[in-house]
Amino acid sequence: MTAETDGSGTDRGLGGNLWIDILGPTRLRVDGVSVPLTHKPVLARLLIVLALGSAKGVSAQFLERETWDGREDAPTARLHTAIRRLKELGLRSCLRHEHPGGRYRLDLSPDRVDAWRLLACAESLSGAEPPSDEALEEALALWRGDPTEGTGLRSALGTGVRAARATLLAERDRRRRPRLLILDDLVGHNIAALFGDYPHTVMTKVEEFWAVADKCDELFDLILVDLHLTEGTGGAEGLAVLQALRRSKVAAILMTHRPREGEPEAVVRRHNLLAYYVKAGNSPGTDFTNLRALVDDLVGADPKEILLPRLDEELARRERKATKLIRLSGGSDIGRRQMRQHVDQIRLMIREQRSVGDIRRAMADFNDRWLPE
């Protein structure tokens, strides 16, 4: 599938430029001019069989059988006619037939056939230099439809390109999944077993978190935090972690076991979390399937749709609390006006749907100024 060049990078003898598109309605692009084969079904089928055949080429008998579902033992005149017509459309120098009775093959560089580009991209995933996100999207954009659908060709001919596309779609899905941090001292690795297709990190000691706390925005997109990170002490180190994340853009889900009534809801509201999850247990045999379902649902949604209404409600609650504190401390009308101006600024950010990280930082600033611990 290589072509000779004249030194300028242009395929010699291809009329300047030739591209073959079979991932969808079959067409040639010759010197920038599109040549649809929609009304030439025999030529379209023949071109698809050539493109999806072996890199070493395919026999005349194979072309005859696949293109016409023929049963002849030797190539017929109709094959020779179709080959000639393809050459007249622009494939004269790249449609090779090495010798009588030999194989037919397309002698083109891999980037000239859309199916070959798709296959090459999928193959490169296991190589030393996987494709960039941009290259992955470009390869997926080549797909305009199944090359065999509606052509009368055997579906099995397209198995390779369909598998390649499925591989690339799975890779794109994997790359789009959030980078997950699981912070749990007892069952972190058991929970992680459910998230093998997510890029994830497990930490079982709160000290591990503090070592990277100032880099969370760079490292993670979603954190699952256990409320009690040192079992048996009665402490709630998870709250300290959530407090440290209050200025972060990282979304968080609280995990807890046997919580006090109303405790998870209060923590979610206070720290602007996505959700909470009550674990059925803290032993390796505990079923955490519902946690995976919860995360998948939240990942599939826009976090803003979940958090912005909640942030608006929480801001109103904090405004009421700050007003009460100012009144009890004998604060002036000027102080109340300044506090309400601060509230108005944050509310405007919410209405403008600014980033959740920016709003959370603004809420943290509000707390520091008007609701000191």
Domain boundaries in the chain?
Answer: 18-110, 112-175, 180-301, 305-370
What pLDDT is attached to residue 234?
53
**pLDDT (tens digit, 9 = 90+) per residue, 64-105?**
889 987 655 556 889 989 999 999 998 988 898 877 667 899
Side-chain half-sphere of 128: how many Cα atoms within 13 Å? 0
18-110 CATH: 1.10.10.10
pLDDT single digits (tens) 176-196: 888 999 999 999 999 999 998
Same fold? 18-110, 180-301: no
Q: Which of 262, 203, 197, 286 is nearest to 238 (CA)?
A: 203
100, two tokens:
């009588």
* Amino acid identity, position 179: R
Maximum alpha-carbon separation in the chain? 103
Residue type for 271, please? Answer: H
227 by DSSP, 3-state: which? coil
Write phi, then psi, for 328 (nearest 5 degrees).
-65, -30
At the topology level, CATH places domain 180-301 in Rossmann fold (3.40.50)
Tens place of pLDDT for every residue, the chain, 373 residues? 443 333 333 343 333 489 999 999 999 998 888 899 988 999 999 999 999 988 788 988 889 889 987 655 556 889 989 999 999 998 988 898 877 667 899 989 889 999 999 999 999 999 889 999 999 999 999 999 999 999 989 999 999 999 999 999 989 888 888 899 999 999 999 999 999 888 899 999 999 999 999 999 899 989 999 988 765 545 678 889 998 888 888 889 999 998 889 889 888 888 888 889 999 999 989 999 999 999 988 877 766 777 788 888 889 989 999 999 998 888 788 888 999 999 999 999 998 988 877 888 898 899 889 987 6
Residue 74 has a pLDDT of: 56
Q: What is the pTM of this model?
A: 0.61
Residue 288, class by beta-carbon neighbours within 10 Å (0-12 exposed, 13-18 middle, 19+ buried)? buried
Tokens of 70: 């023929």
Cα end-to-end distance, the chain, whole Å: 70
Residue written as tokens 């046997």?
258
